[in-house]
Structure 1
């Protein structure tokens, strides 16, 4: 039987189970619990707003959204969001999922930290971004009741999440801080890398090789 938390069904199709197994194999409890909370918060918001979305694709997007932080999927030179999106694409292609669904999941994962843009993508991408923002920084916190939050956190505990997730982010891209340029992840490099100074776009413009 599929699991239901806060009246939200966690997808239990073969594809969903295989995606969950992949995260279980390569992630840890921190990412497992976070990714499932992201799905549940996202689905709750979708139901509350009476939005049409594909629960299976939303769930798989949620499971893969931080997989690019893990040793098995992190690249030497790409943003971790792209690493996770590429992993999701490879996973779905290997199972014959239609290209339109693959593109949707890729966008949801790759854009999940790109505020101001992802909110206007397809419902699955926008909802997952909501779930990430809700779980990581408490954005729109009062939108979900204390009782619903309790049910979700009881099922997938936070366990000092706000402290541990920053270190997990850093571990995922400390070898490639240049990939955080222009993103919120540069804040994490500044926190953990002694002497790190983020690149400045104005500096790049004013010191480009153009002569004027």
Structure 2
């Protein structure tokens, strides 16, 4: 069992099933310390928000999805041609199939991960999808920071410190998809390619319309 299984932080209990513990260990094995702490903070922010807003959500499914949400950036899970979010979602679906979860749960986990970088969409989906998007946005860009109680924030950071996330997160993301910048089209990840990849020019949708093969 993971050393954090069953622990309660900021009023949120870390799921302690064998499935949750294995998901944690996979993140530990294949992710970095930055991704590990980010993922645990993201879950705690997400679950705390769900509790405070009295949402009905599957905490274990949310937890496993959060453990996998950035694993598509890692060497073990990343593909050559898919968005990193899809790589993580596919890996989580395969993992959960091994535990016999029903198709609707597999699809929910897939959507939760695949849409976690899609503001304007995720918040209108099922609670698990909306909550992961909320937790990740709070941790990475501070969205909703003022609504988080100081004592909860301090408890979470005491257990899972940020350790230079602002300085290191962009490089961590870029490392995960620098070999396939075309997969960032239409997402915020294109901003990272523009920042990190010399000479990179974002594809332009207006130009794509003009250059389409239609004759008119």
| Distance in 1 between residues matched to 2:137 and 2:175, nearest whole Å | 20
Residue 68 of structure 1: SS of its match in structure 2?
helix
Shift of 1:142: 0.8
Q: Which residue of 2 aligns with 1:189?
A: 193
Residue 140 (structure 2) aligned to one of 136, 147, 160: 136
Distance in 2 (CA, whole Å) between partners of 1:207 and 1:134 is 39
What is the number of residues matched between the two proteins? 212
In the superposition, the TM-score normalised over structure 2's length comes to 0.97
Q: Which residue of 1 aligns with 2:211?
A: 207
CA offset digits 1:94-134 (Å, max 9, x no partner): 22111111111000000100111111111011011000010
The whole-number CA distance in structure 2 between the counterparts of 1:187 and 1:163 is 16
Counterpart among 35, 42, 46 of residue 39 in structure 2: 35
What is the root-mean-square deviation of aligned Cα atoms in Å?
0.8
Does residue 8 in structure 1 map to residue 12 in structure 2?
Answer: yes
CA distance in 1, matches of 2:127, 2:182: 31
Which segment drifts farther, 80-89 or 157-166? 157-166
Q: How does 1:24-103 map to 2 (within 5 A)?
A: 24-103=28-107
CA distance in 2, matches of 1:142, 1:12: 30
Which segments of 5 or more consecutive residues in structure 1 lack a partner in the other structure?
A: none
The correspondence for 2:114, drawn from 110, 114, 118, is: 110
Runs of 4 or more above 3 Å deviation: none
Inter-partner Cα distance in structure 2 for 1:147 and 1:59: 22
Other structure's SS at 2:40 match: helix
Structure 1 Cα separation of the partners of residues 26 and 101 of structure 2:
17
Between 33-42 and 137-146, report the one with greater CA deviation. 137-146
Alpha-carbon distance in 1 for matches of 2:50, 2:132: 10
Alignment partners' CA distance in 1, 2:40 and 2:185: 28
- SS of the residue corresponding to residue 57 of structure 2 reads coil
For residue 103 of structure 1, give the secondary structure of its aligned residue in structure 2.
Answer: helix
Distance 1:23 1:160 in 2: 19
Counterpart Cα distance in 2 of 1:119 and 1:104? 14
Task: State the shift of 1:147 in Å.
Answer: 1.4
Give 5+ residue unaligned stretches, structure 2: none
Task: Report the 3-state secondary structure (helix = DSSP H, G, I; strand = E; otherwise coil) of the residue aligned with 2:156.
Answer: helix
1:112-170 CA-partner distances (Å, limit 9, x unpaired): 00111111111011011000010000001111111111110110010011111111000
Name the CA distance, whole Å, in 1 between partners of 2:29 and 2:145: 31
